[in-house]
Amino acid sequence: MERVTLNAKKREQSGKGIARSLRRNGIMPAVVYKGGDSVPVQLSAKELSRFISKTAGEQVIVNLQFPDDLKQAIVKDYQTDPVKGSLLHVDFQEISATEIIKVVAHIGIKGEAIGVKRDKGILQYGIREIEIECLPDKIPGHIDVDVSNLEIGQSIHVRDLNLGEGIRIITSPDEVIASVILVKEEEVAAAPVETVEPEVIRKSKKTEEK
């Protein structure tokens, strides 16, 4: 699994005013969680924004390099400005190489379904993320699902995934990932169907600062 190192410092003050002041000076407020504890930290806004933009939709282990310590973590959540789209705050979860953790893995769809290409069906998307449980070094950056062999009336479910040894899927096995359906010609004429793969957006908080 890919690893990225980011320089970090502990943050002594918190609050909306402090957070805005930090961002004006090119510093991004963040929080590192472990168990029931949390530690306010700050990082370079430029480096963190670049990292989030590059890895959105994937799980990446982050080495948080403090002046006197090194912590391994993953991004659990982040907040962006609803108008500008700029990064406002990031939540990290500290991890241990020997402790099993629960994470969310993104699902990517690959290929063109034969039921679409040959039989003029419509590919419908289901869930785009699943929750898994594993050791940190087993976390997949993302999960690719090939839909090339899907015919009309067929579906791919969570139970069809094979993620390898050491990874337990928590999401319900009955959840649908993708399916191909047939739309009658009169239905198409009455209401044309446009299939657009949804953009993957990591869930963000509504509050600006913890």
pLDDT in tens, 97-130: 899 999 999 999 999 999 999 999 999 999 999 9
Structural domains of the chain in order of their starting residue, each with its CATH number? 3-95 (2.40.240.10), 102-190 (2.170.120.20)
Digit-coded pLDDT (tens) for 32-41:
999 889 999 9
With the C-alpha atoms ordered 180, 184, 185, 188, is the resulting torsion angle positive or negative?
Answer: negative
| CA pair distance 41, 38, nearest whole angstrom | 10
Residue 157 near residue 178 (C-beta atoms within 8 A): no
Nearest Cα neighbor of 122 from 167, 43, 182 is 182
| For residues 68-96, average pLDDT | 92
Nearest Cα neighbor of 171 from 98, 92, 103, 93 is 103
pLDDT confidence band for 51 (50 / 70 / 90)? very high
Number of other residues whose CB lies within 10 A of the CB of residue 106? 18
pLDDT confidence band for 205 (50 / 70 / 90)? very low
Phi, psi angles (nearest 5°) of residue 12: -80, -30
pLDDT at site 199: 52
pLDDT confidence band for 153 (50 / 70 / 90)? very high
| For residues 46-52, average pLDDT | 93
Q: DSSP string spanning the chain?
A: --EEEEEEEE-S--SHHHHHHHHHTTEEEEEEEETTEEEEEEEEHHHHHHHHHHHTTS--EEEEEETTEEEEEEEEEEEE-TTT--EEEEEEEE--TTS-EEEEEEEEEES--HHHHTT--EEEE--SEEEEEE-GGG--S-EEEE-TTPPTT-EEEGGG----TT-EE-S-TT-EEEEEE---HHHHHHS-----PPPP-----SSS--
pLDDT mean across residues, the chain: 87
| For residues 172-200, average pLDDT | 72
